[in-house]
Amino acid sequence: MKLWGGRFAKSTASLVDSFNASIEFDQKLYKHDILGSMAHAKMLGKCNIITTEESQLIIDGLQAILGDIEGGLVTFQIEYEDIHMNIEKLLIDRIGDVGKKLHTARSRNDQVAVDIRLYLREEIEEICGLLKNLLTTLKDLGTIHKDTVMPGYTHLQRAQPVTFGYHMMAYFQIFKRDLARLHDCYERVNIMPLGAGALAGTTYETDRQFLAQQLGFSDICQNSMDAVSDRDFAIEFISDASIMMMHLSRFCEELILWSSAEFHFIEMDDAYSTGSSIMPQKKNPDVAELIRGKTGRIYGNLMNILTIMKGLPLAYNKDMQEDKPPLFDTVENLKDCLVIFNEMLKTTTIQKDQMKKATKEGFMNATDVADYLVKKGVPFRSSHEIVGKMVLHCIQHGKAIDDLSLDEFISFSPVFTEDILEIIKIENCIASKVSYGSTAKGSIDTMIQQAEDFLSDI
């Protein structure tokens, strides 16, 4: 008989048992469910809702069940629907009628809400650790390659010269914001719903502050209907995860491009590449491609849970049972992607000479020539036109701007003097950009020091 079956004249159909059950996926919450139940039992004893002896018997029984589950000695039963009922049934079988007192002053509605928060709080802490590892890798690459010249791109066209280190520090800033979003999300996850009951609280004199302290929550939900009926904290996490995956995907796209023969800026380590079943020469960046592909999966999880929640009246509805698969899938895939991406990046070989060679093409010093004229008093639009004509001349004559003689420069504008021949060198173009801290050696050193300080503080 179901633990809730007293009102029913006959059993549910076996088809309904299978359709209704969530134990196949929510068994992942066994530890969090037991921890929440142990704290609840302790509170019941403290408040004299059950005796101290009964409270301790329940806690000991739950502790033993936790050990057996982790030892692989427990098989969950679909007839008990979910992880909550499975554990409660195990407890009753072990300690008898005292086990039936555990659910006093509690509903599965607030029970599952606290389980998910305990689970997600733990996972966010782990993901933040993985993000810190990635930030450390990016800082290290920024330090090693602060002088490694490469083309910077807009519209995937060569634009201005930068350094590989500066490019990595751009991603440092990106993933630093991702970390901040997770820290912010954690604050809303770390609020305790236990004690809300089904939706309207309980008639028992419970101690929710004691429960929050036992479970490490920073605050309690103020409205019992809200406590059991929303999953915005989970939606927020998956949204943050989607943004993070978008950043990983963009990074992977660049690595995929850079590893192609057309760029050859990097070479993936063999351990993070795959081959072709037909073409023996191929070395494919499949790990980066798969991370890029999994981004769509995480986006799908976000739309999944948003769609589940969009039409639900307050308070709990059975639809919300389906919140866990997209949440669990997001957590596991995000963690996997962060781990393997970091290792792939750390083992990637940077082809410095090829990067520098690429800066010699594409007239990447054209903007610096235009700025030179402006500093000599030429209006910017006039300067832009002059340098545009200069680039056209170079294209027509198969030259780079670096190849022009001083006389050729002067033929486009009498403002040019001999110093232009030094200014147009790619290394000098990079070193001259100081107004925004663009790629000047001093500014990237400052950026790296700030990154080191940030990492030592978290």
Q: Beta strands 266-267 and 349-350: pairing type? A: antiparallel
Q: What is the DSSP letter of 11?
A: P
Q: SS3 of 422, please? A: helix
What letter represents residue 452's amino acid? E
With helix as H, strand as E and coil as C, how does 90-155 read?
Answer: HHHHHHHHHHHHCCCCCCHHHHHHHHHHHHHHHHHHHHHHHHHHHHHHHHHHHHHCCCCEEEEEEC
CA 324/CA 118 separation, integer angstroms: 13
Match 């107004």 to its residue by tokens. Answer: 435
Q: Which residue has the tokens 């704290």?
A: 39
Q: Give catalytic status of residue 264 as yes or no.
A: no
Residues 183, 108: Cα–Cα separation, whole Å: 28
CB 238, CB 327: distance < 8 Å: yes
Beta partners for 161?
151
Which residues, 6+ apart, have CB-to-CB distance to 152 below 8 Å? 158, 159, 160, 161, 162, 167, 364
Structure tokens at 12: 């549910």
Has 32 been annotated as catalytic?
no
Active-site entry in 218, 276, 382, 411: 276
Q: Is 192 helix (H, G, I), strand (E, B) or coil?
A: strand
What the block records as the tokens of 389 is 């004509």
Task: Answer whether 454's CB lies under 8 Å from 176's CB.
Answer: yes
Query: Under a CB-based contact definition with an 8 Å cutoff, are residues 21 and 78 in contact?
Result: yes
Separation of alpha carbons 42 and 102, rounded Å: 10
Please answer whether residues 254 and 182 qualify as being in contact, where contact means their C-beta atoms are separated by less than 8 angstroms: no
Name the DSSP class of 6.
Answer: G
Which of these, 18, 31, 15, 16, lies nearest to 83 by C-alpha position? 31
155, 277, 435, 456: the catalytic one is: 155
Please check whether residue 40 is in contact with residue 211, taking contact to mean a CB–CB distance below 8 angstroms: yes
Cα–Cα dist 196/111, whole Å: 9
Q: What is the rounded radius of gyration, in angstroms, for the C-alpha atoms of the chain?
A: 31
Residues classed as catalytic:
155, 276
